[in-house]
């Protein structure tokens, strides 16, 4: 039989109605043509030859009408006329020769009705066929009713039911496939919409984005990346330099090459252009992508032009360095004359006390200028380190010297400094640089303490490191300030609002010094309770 109706109802889809009618009728016509040919060849014909060819002619007429009628443009119920007319033609064929078994041709219209018109087609086709069969049998006086008389109706009923169930199953499958197709279409449309939104967002940002697949091909790139590439490649690809701006960058260290090798990195600075001419500097970050199973899916490379930012930072640092240098000379002269005055025994005690205060403040101002100059010498280099000359030294004398220098300022605020927790601890450090760190931490512990507070200093060996802790009972540090505490020129909100002076350089320089030794400095703090700064530096290589 031809393809069944894939709907659950009795109506065939308009787009398949024409094809269904033609295919079913052509199959019946083909069988009838074969039987007609056998009827001509076989002599004598076992029945009424005229009646036989009348039935054959009726089938051919219905086939011609089926081919001519546009079934897609007429009501679907009219298509049932064709198998009904075929039933009558088959009844004529059956009557022309009852013993020949031509009644089996009723299978074609019955299965057609059951598959294309649902339960109504099944019942109507079987009932009509049984009525026609009974009529033909009754009109044949030579026929005797036996068990074989009921065989044909039962076979027709079974095949019609099978055809109906098959059509229903196909209809259910088609319905499921249609629903899945709708879900997939909706998902595809949603994916396309999301892809368009992501593309628009990527094109709207001012930094370049490149998505690299695991095989190294470029899957996604935005307009900003293209603009950066066009800006860098005017005529030919410019020379590339490392973050210091002068050391040539090897080809295998280019950000895209590193990403293709499977590396992940953040903030790699690459200078483009000759050092003597106009230049651009890009900050490039690569992040690896993985699936749920942990397999590498490639990387996303983000590049940003930071030329203007670095130029502004350089201009700021140059201005700060210039001003600081100009301040250093008169401050040195002031300190020299103050020392001369203090060396004069004829200076009254009251005046001497005032001059000493002036000297301490001048020394403090000179230290601030020195910090600013030190910071301005290392404005941008990521990998640059302070020059240090480490040696195996006992930390205890450094702590005591730093405490003694801070006692006058602590006494002014009645802050007690306790360094009894510092025993003989040897570390591999630069004594001058570590003293600079201790001076800053102890000075901050006194400065940001409460009147009558306490500062405790401890030092001990922890594994292969030496840990020095400076704990105060001061105002503490807010959570939002802790993350930026070691940035240069940063001062917390509470400090700025309190009116306390400072540059925001001391902790930044202290961390640079400690990290130059291969250690680190951390902080724990609770607002209103106090803070603890921990300095971790390498232990001495050989303890006396």
CA–CA gap between residue 505 and residue 489 (Å, rounded) = 5
To the nearest 10°, report the CA torsion of 352, 353, 358, 364.
120
Query: Which ranges of 42-79 would DSSP assign to H, the alpha helix?
Result: 49-68
CA–CA gap between residue 437 and residue 530 (Å, rounded) = 19
Quick one: average pLDDT of 504-511?
A: 80
CA–CA gap between residue 480 and residue 429 (Å, rounded) = 32
3-state secondary structure of 2: coil
Whether the CB-CB separation of 523 and 469 falls below 8 Å is answered with: no
Whether the CB-CB separation of 220 and 209 falls below 8 Å is answered with: yes
Residue 246 tokens, joined:
């002068």
- What pLDDT sits at residue 15? 56
Judged by average pLDDT, the poorest of 232-246, 282-296, 306-320, 489-503 is: 489-503
Quick one: average pLDDT of 10-27?
A: 69
Task: Fill in the DSSP letter of residue 8.
Answer: S
Predicted confidence (pLDDT) at residue 470 exceeds the cutoff of 90: yes
Report, in angstroms and rounded to the nearest whole number, the Rg of the chain calculated over CA atoms. 49
More confident residue, 354 or 300: 300
Instruction: Output phi, psi for 286, to 5 deg.
Output: -125, 135
Is the Cα torsion angle 316, 317, 320, 322 positive or negative in sign?
Answer: negative
More confident residue, 48 or 472: 472
To the nearest 10°, report the CA torsion of 81, 84, 89, 93.
160
CA–CA gap between residue 103 and residue 99 (Å, rounded) = 9
- What pLDDT sits at residue 397? 92
Smallest CA-to-CA distance from 398 within 488, 486, 513 is with: 513
CA–CA gap between residue 171 and residue 11 (Å, rounded) = 12
CA–CA gap between residue 423 and residue 540 (Å, rounded) = 15
Whether the CB-CB separation of 270 and 249 falls below 8 Å is answered with: yes
Predicted confidence (pLDDT) at residue 499 exceeds the cutoff of 60: no
Quick one: average pLDDT of 33-61?
A: 79
> pLDDT digits over 92-125, tens only?
888 887 777 788 888 888 888 888 888 888 888 8
pLDDT interval class at 224 (50, 70, 90): confident
Predicted confidence (pLDDT) at residue 2 exceeds the cutoff of 60: no
- What pLDDT sits at residue 4? 44
Whether the CB-CB separation of 95 and 139 falls below 8 Å is answered with: yes
Residue 397 tokens, joined:
């004398």
SS3 track for 335-380: HHHHHHHHHCCCCCHHHHHHHHHHHHHHHHHHHHHHHHHHHHCCCC
95 contacts: CB under 8 Å, gap ≥ 6:
48, 51, 136, 139, 140
DSSP 447-465: HTSPTT-EEEEEEEEETTE
Predicted confidence (pLDDT) at residue 313 exceeds the cutoff of 80: no
CA–CA gap between residue 110 and residue 16 (Å, rounded) = 19
DSSP 128-171: HHHHHHHHHHHH-TT----GGGGHHHHHHHHHHHHHHHHHHHHH
Paired sense of beta strands 426-429 and 265-272, if any:
unpaired
More confident residue, 302 or 357: 302
Whether the CB-CB separation of 129 and 156 falls below 8 Å is answered with: yes
259 contacts: CB under 8 Å, gap ≥ 6:
212, 286, 299, 301
Residue 264 tokens, joined:
């992940």
Instruction: Output phi, psi for 521, to 5 deg.
Output: -130, 130
Whether a cis peptide bond, with omega within 30° of 0, leads into 44 is yes
Quick one: average pLDDT of 440-460?
A: 91
Predicted confidence (pLDDT) at residue 501 exceeds the cutoff of 60: no
How far are the Cα atoms of 180, 197, 220, 434 from residue 190, in angstroms, in the given order? 15, 10, 19, 60
């Amino acid at each position: 039989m031809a393809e069944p109706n894939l709907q659950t109802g009795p109506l065939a889809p308009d787009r398949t109605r024409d094809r269904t009618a033609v295919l079913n009728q052509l199959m019946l016509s083909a069988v009838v043509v074969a039987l007609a040919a056998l009827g001509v060849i076989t002599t004598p014909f076992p029945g009424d030859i005229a009646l036989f060819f009348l039935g054959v002619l009726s089938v051919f007429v219905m086939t011609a009408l089926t081919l001519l009628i546009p079934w897609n443009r007429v009501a679907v119920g009219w298509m049932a006329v064709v198998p009904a007319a075929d039933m009558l033609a088959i009844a004529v064929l059956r009557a022309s020769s009852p013993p020949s078994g031509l009644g089996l041709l009723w299978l074609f219209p019955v299965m057609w009705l059951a598959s294309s018109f649902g339960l109504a087609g099944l019942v109507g086709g079987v009932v009509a066929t049984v009525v026609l069969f009974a009529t033909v049998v009754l009109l044949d006086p030579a026929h005797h009713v036996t068990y074989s008389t009921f065989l044909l109706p039962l076979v027709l009923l079974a095949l019609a039911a099978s055809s109906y169930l098959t059509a229903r199953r196909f209809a259910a499958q088609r319905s499921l496939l249609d629903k899945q197709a709708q879900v997939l279409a909706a998902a595809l449309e949603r994916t396309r919409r999301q892809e368009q939104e992501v593309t628009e967002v990527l094109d709207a940002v001012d930094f370049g984005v490149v998505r690299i697949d695991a095989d190294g091909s470029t899957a996604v790139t935005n307009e900003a990346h293209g603009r950066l590439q066009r800006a860098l490649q005017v005529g030919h690809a410019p020379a590339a330099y490392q973050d210091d701006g002068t050391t040539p960058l090897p080809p295998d260290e280019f950000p895209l090459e590193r990403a293709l090798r499977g590396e992940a990195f953040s903030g790699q600075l690459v200078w483009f252009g000759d050092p003597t001419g106009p230049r651009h500097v890009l900050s490039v970050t690569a992040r690896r992508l993985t699936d749920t199973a942990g397999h590498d899916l490639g990387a996303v490379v983000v590049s940003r032009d930071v030329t203007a930012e670095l130029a502004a930072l350089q201009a700021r640092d140059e201005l700060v360095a210039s001003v600081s240098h100009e301040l250093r000379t008169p401050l040195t002269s002031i300190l020299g004359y103050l020392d001369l005055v203090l060396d004069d025994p004829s200076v009254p005690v009251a005046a001497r006390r005032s001059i000493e205060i002036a000297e301490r403040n001048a020394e403090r101002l000179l230290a601030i200028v020195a910090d600013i100059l030190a910071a301005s010498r290392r404005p941008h280099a990521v990998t640059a380190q302070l020059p240090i000359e480490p040696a195996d030294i006992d930390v205890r004398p450094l702590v005591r010297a730093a405490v003694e220098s801070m006692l006058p300022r602590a006494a002014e605020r009645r802050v007690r400094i306790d360094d009894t927790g510092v025993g003989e601890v040897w570390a591999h450090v630069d004594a001058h640089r570590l003293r600079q760190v201790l001076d800053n931490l102890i000075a901050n512990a006194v400065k940001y303490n409460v009147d009558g507070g306490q500062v405790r200093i401890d030092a001990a060996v922890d594994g292969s490191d030496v840990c020095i802790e400076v704990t105060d009972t001061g105002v503490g540090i807010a959570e939002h300030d802790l993350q930026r505490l070691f940035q240069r020129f940063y001062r917390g909100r509470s400090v700025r609002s309190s009116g306390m002076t400072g540059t925001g350089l001391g902790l930044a320089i202290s961390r640079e010094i400690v990290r130059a030794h291969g250690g680190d400095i951390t902080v724990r703090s609770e607002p209103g309770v106090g803070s603890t700064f921990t300095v971790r530096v390498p232990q001495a290589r050989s303890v006396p």
